[in-house]
Chain A
Amino acid sequence: MSVTGNPLQPTLFELSRPGRGAGTRLPAPPADALERLPAAARRAVPPALPELNEATLVRHYVNLSHLNWSVDTGFYPLGSCTMKYNPKVNEWAARLPGFAALHPLAPDETAQGTLELLWRLEQDLAEISGMAAVTLQPAAGAQGELTGILMVRAYHRSRGDAARTDVLVPDSAHGTNPATASMAGFRTVNIPSAPDGGVDLDGFRAALGSTTAAVMITNPSTLGLFETRVVELLEMVHAAGALAYMDGANLNAMLGHFKPGAAGFDVMHFNVHKTFSTPHGGGGPGAGPVGVRSHLAPFLPEPLVLREPDGTFRLERAGERPASIGRMRSFVGNVGILVRAYAYIRAHGGDGLREVSEDAVLAANYLKHRLAGAYEIPYERPCMHEFVASSAGLKAATGVRTLDVAKRLIDKGFHPPTIYFPLTVEEAMLIEPTETESLETLDAFADAMLEIAREAHEDPELVQGAPHTAPVRRLDEATAARQPNLRWRAESPE
């Protein structure tokens, strides 16, 4: 597809001029530096990379940053994402040269500071989750899920049980859950939820059996509701010889109030970029540590961080724990991110984390209460840290859908909530305020939502044409998918 229309900002390539910014960043190499390399291995044509001076470069990125919404800009009530404030001291910590300059293969004795931090973080996450052991290796929540399910697989095989081929998930599950099950070689069985939004015990009972490897449960559920039947469910799962995985995306709801391992979950992952404030970075990086109860500990990926009797720390050696499922990735983990998570936990302590969840849950219930008149709240009981609202009624009465409400919120100065998820609620909006938003922000958001509902009745086209004030209007996503343009090409447009 050709380049179309006026750009908000030119690309780096369009800002480039031959010879612009020609370097004084490094001394010139000797002219013959590459002569010893065989010609066949050398690059024949230099890469057509952009040439910019630093001032042009800086303006480019500063101006692009102005086109973004961010937590540092304003409210971001994305359900299941936990868009809480990202503390600046964490950025300082991760950048300390002692942490940043350390090579991952450096000998243990030269890395004692980082190893101690990682070990303490393993202990802290174990305490928070009520689990016996934790791996910090997975690079993201989804990779944590895969880690957990691969451990489930290893566990069953270690007991000679190769018949367990299924993973059960409620139909409200996040898409990563079934995708993870497939990657680990399992078949996904979807169990419809009960009318109150929680797991349907009868449905699970009927599906559980000798072919079930595990169930994957999000708690609180993706509807923001605590699984009140969790104890019975876990008993049922274990009685069938299967294991229970908890998707920890919603942990912000229950820090200090519920410990999944203590309650009976066998394995769970954490999203440190959700619960533990590490920044989202525009889509990553995050980290997805995994906690397990003791019967799964032998299978954790390698290497773990260990403390010796003399108080020093080291990485596990290759092969030291033969039952390990192996590596999920290179080196020990996204340590730069884990430093931030550790700092966050240290800044709060146990009482502080418990208060985080209480404030998160209070704020969500308050918002739910404020929106209840204008939007359907499918589940009336108290929610946890997030809740679902629906525009189904609005759509029936005015034709204005959740998508339109979301885009109109942009005009009101807010980032939209998560929309059309979970799949089990029509015209869903999943709203999660988090504990770091002020009461006046919560009220302003509620006021805006109520105003949009009024606009939908009085002037539906205004809402349906939104956003009107964003840097760009609605996009032609169909053409973007039919004729993908995924890289800049120097050819001029037709």
Chain B
Amino acid sequence: MIPADLRYTKDHEWVRVDGDVATIGITRHAADQLGDIVFVELPAAGRTLEQFATFGVVESVKAVSDLFAPLGGEVVEANGALAAAPEVVNSDPYGAGWMLRIRLADAAQVDALLDAAAYEALVAEA
């Protein structure tokens, strides 16, 4: 099920906001579409991301997909566990499969994101 407490983008990323830090990942729908994920390319801590710009790449056996920053900010941490175990994105996309933590540049940007109901509707249409 699509977690109700997260926000989403039309590119199938999710965001969990905690004060001025946001955790970012991809949704189960995205992970299922990609298939077995084999590699995730993430930026290093300290890099500044612009909202909606690409910040990395996720590769599966047969496909590759850009990752788009749902929000702008400075990268605090990338999930190092994904280097050795990228499959965690498939098994636990909203939990241990998180990808990036950023310090928000502008908290108001969250308002532009979809809520769970809107994202659910988007996926249903697809």
List residues of chain A with CB under 8 Å of any chain B CB: 477-478, 481-482
B100, CB-defined interface residue at 8 Å? no
By DSSP majority rule, is chain A's interface helix, strand, loop, or mixed? helix
Nearest neighbor of A477 in chain B, beta-carbon distance: B61
Dominant secondary structure at the B interface: loop
Residue ranges of B at the interface with A (Cβ–Cβ < 8 Å): 36, 38-39, 59, 61, 86-87
Q: With both chains docked as a complex, state the minimum distance between the C-beta of A335 and any C-beta of chain B, in angstroms.
A: 36
**Distance to closest chain A CB from B54 (angstroms):** 15
Please determine whether B87 and A481 come into contact, CB atoms closer than 8 angstroms: no
- Provide the residues of chain B in CB contact with A477, threshold 8 Å: 36, 61
Residues of A within 8 A of B36 (CB): 477-478, 481
Q: How far is the CB of A358 from chain B (nearest CB, A)?
A: 36
Q: A477-B61, A481-B38, A481-B61 are in contact. List 12 more A-B contacts (CB 8 A).
A: A477-B36, A478-B36, A478-B38, A478-B61, A478-B87, A481-B36, A481-B39, A481-B59, A482-B38, A482-B39, A482-B86, A482-B87
Task: Give Cα distance in the complex from A309 to B48, angstroms.
Answer: 66
Closest to B61 in A: A477
Q: How far is the CB of B119 from chain A (nearest CB, A)?
A: 24
**Assembled-state Cα–Cα distance A478/B86 (Å):** 10
A482 to B36, CA, bound (A): 10
Give the 5 A-B residue pairs with the shortest CB-CB distance, closest first. A478-B36, A481-B38, A477-B61, A482-B38, A481-B61
Query: Distance (Å) between the CB of B81 and the closest chain A CB?
Result: 13
15 A-B pairs with CB atoms under 8 Å apart are A477-B36, A477-B61, A478-B36, A478-B38, A478-B61, A478-B87, A481-B36, A481-B38, A481-B39, A481-B59, A481-B61, A482-B38, A482-B39, A482-B86, A482-B87
A481 to B37, CA, bound (A): 9
A482 partner residues in chain B, CB cutoff 8 A? 38-39, 86-87
- Distance in angstroms between the alpha carbons of A478 and B61 in the assembled complex: 6
User: What residues on A are CB-neighbors of B61 within 8 Å?
Assistant: 477-478, 481
Q: Nearest Cβ distance between residue A191 and chain B, in whole angstroms? A: 21
Assembled-state Cα–Cα distance A481/B38 (Å): 6
Chain B residues with CB below 8 A from A481, complex form: 36, 38-39, 59, 61
Q: How far apart are B35's CB and chain A's nearest CB, in angstroms? A: 8
Shortest CB-to-CB span from B82 to chain A, Å, is 11
Q: Which of chain B's residues have a CB closer than 8 A to the CB of A478?
A: 36, 38, 61, 87
B59 contact set on A, CB distance < 8 A: 481
Complexed CA–CA distance, A481 and B35 (Å): 13
Q: Chain A residues with Cβ under 8 A from B39's Cβ?
A: 481-482
Q: Separation in Å of the B100 CB from the closest CB of chain A?
A: 20
> Chain A contacts of B86 at CB under 8 A?
482
Instruction: Report how far A477 CA is from B36 CA in the complex, Å.
Output: 9
CA distance A481 to B90 in the complex (A): 15
Residues from chain A with Cβ under 8 Å of B38 in the complex: 478, 481-482
Distance to closest chain A CB from B89 (angstroms): 11
| CB of A165, distance to nearest CB on chain B (Å) | 20
In the assembled complex, the Cα of A158 lies from the Cα of B59 at a distance in Å of 40
B71 to chain A, nearest CB (A): 27
Q: Tell me how far the C-beta of B33 lies from the nearest C-beta in chain A, rounded to whole angstroms.
A: 13
- Chain A: minimal CB distance from B64 (Å): 11
Complex alpha-carbon distance, A478 and B85, angstroms? 11
For A476, give the chain B residue with the smallest CB separation: B36
Inter-chain CA distance A482–B87, complex, in Å, is: 9
Nearest Cβ on chain B to A393's Cβ, whole angstroms: 20
CA distance A482 to B81 in the complex (A): 13
**Complex: A164 Cα to B123 Cα, angstroms:** 38
A482 to B59, alpha carbons, bound, how many Å?
10
* In the bound complex, CA of A97 to CA of B5 (Å): 75
A478 nearest CB across to chain B (Å): 4
